[in-house]
Chain A
């Protein structure tokens, strides 16, 4: 019931968003008229088949790419370009290789002109939160895959955005690390509640993490169906309710190569 009260304000509103790519020879429609809403502190998973426009959709929501038509409102403001009120965690990590863990995590506050003492203090808190205490001075090249993604999460959190976008953040990790990082994300999220939009191509991951799963179609992408996941947390991969949902969602997903 506590969650019910938390999830009430609209955090993200998308209305009739479409996106077309233009290249030398042709134009391709990637996103075809999507409208959706995300409430405050809700964790929404965007789930769809391999080559659908999930990442593009996320980039458009974040303001990294411009929508061809339609509008996106995040926390009451129209999204026109990238901004620090929205955090982003990348599948390809996108850590700055020339900065240490500390340098990466305090990058955002540094850009916004927060004093060195304050930003390092804040960065230390988040580095500790993601479990990387003691690695402040390491360079990304010295870290393992799971540790790098912890840095990515800490970096996004440290900027204290109202929304976090995650683009298949555990896509490159091996299966064991992936399970571990899913639990870690749950732990971090329980401690520091944020609105999260999470893109994944893994059904179990979507059901395991999300309050709500939005199933997307193939290109041009549209919303196929929405599922509210009201299983209690921590969730169990072999719980009958979980398996039933998995079965249900699998049956509606477009099958492609």
Chain B
């Protein structure tokens, strides 16, 4: 009986959510397709967008790439810069937190670079590396690198003295303390950094493609703006959002397997 009430109230909110989406899409459709409150070149109706989406899956016009092709191009570049940032950033953060001299010398430089958003580096990287894959990968690297370093650093600094003392009484060397005590302590933080970095890389690749590129989702929506095709823009934006959410979701699964001994939400 009580169990039933509980399920009922859950279902009520679920229905409310579904109704909210339906009402939203309906109002959008009604005001664009029926009332014609907005011109199609300003805001197309939802049906047009679904049609465009299907067409764009296989057609290359007008930007020279299919939706799938553009997505793959963006993902490939974003992931390569991202992986490099993890490989460099996490160890650097760990070293900075564990070895005082590294901290003393590296941190000032890091603090100098940190307040500059990744986007600001795009033109400089284009000047140095030209318009191509390299400059984009470097920009993504710089963007994703910062959260990796900051979170690994904070994580290692969370190590509790008691745990270190336990390690020392068992005769662990400094390096063993780092790998068996400090890094496991820092792992949840490191994973958080890696998750934040994923979002930043995805954002940075879109920015880089908007500014200078010949393929990718950012390039696609920028081209579509030039020829007044908001339906393609919205398709592209939804694809960007969906891919971003998907990657975050996959990383969340990895995180659950890597980080043990904490409560997962």
User: Footprint of B on A, CB under 8 Å?
Assistant: 20, 22-24, 26-27, 68
B170, CB-defined interface residue at 8 Å: no
Task: State A189–B28 Cα separation when bound (angstroms).
Answer: 66
- Could you tell me the distance in whole angstroms from the C-beta of B200 to the nearest C-beta in chain A? 33
- Could you tell me the distance in whole angstroms from the C-beta of B6 to the nearest C-beta in chain A? 5
Q: Name the residue of chain B whose CB is nearest to the CB of A26.
A: B3
Q: Contact mask B1-13 → A, CB, 8 Å, 1/0?
A: 0110110000000
Task: State A23–B2 Cα separation when bound (angstroms).
Answer: 10
| Tally of chain B residues near chain A (CB < 8 A) | 4
In the bound complex, residues from chain A placing their C-beta under 8 Å from that of B5 are 22
Q: Name the residue of chain A whose CB is nearest to the CB of B5.
A: A22
11 contacts between A and B (CB under 8 A): A20-B2, A22-B2, A22-B3, A22-B5, A22-B6, A23-B6, A24-B6, A26-B3, A27-B2, A27-B3, A68-B2
Q: Name the residue of chain B whose CB is nearest to the CB of A20.
A: B2
- 8 more CB-based (< 8 A) A-B contacts, given A27-B2, A27-B3, A68-B2: A20-B2, A22-B2, A22-B3, A22-B5, A22-B6, A23-B6, A24-B6, A26-B3
In the bound complex, residues from chain A placing their C-beta under 8 Å from that of B3 are 22, 26-27
Tell me which residues from 1 to 51 in chain B have a Cβ below 8 Å from any Cβ of chain A.
Answer: 2-3, 5-6
Task: State A78–B255 Cα separation when bound (angstroms).
Answer: 50
Task: State A24–B5 Cα separation when bound (angstroms).
Answer: 11
For the complex of A and B, the 10 pairs showing the least CB-CB separation, nearest first, are: A22-B2, A22-B6, A27-B3, A27-B2, A22-B3, A20-B2, A68-B2, A22-B5, A24-B6, A23-B6
Task: State A156–B3 Cα separation when bound (angstroms).
Answer: 36
Task: State A68–B6 Cα separation when bound (angstroms).
Answer: 14
- Could you tell me the distance in whole angstroms from the C-beta of A63 to the nearest C-beta in chain B? 19
- Could you tell me the distance in whole angstroms from the C-beta of A17 to the nearest C-beta in chain B? 16
Task: State A27–B3 Cα separation when bound (angstroms).
Answer: 7
In the bound complex, residues from chain A placing their C-beta under 8 Å from that of B6 are 22-24
In the bound complex, residues from chain A placing their C-beta under 8 Å from that of B2 are 20, 22, 27, 68
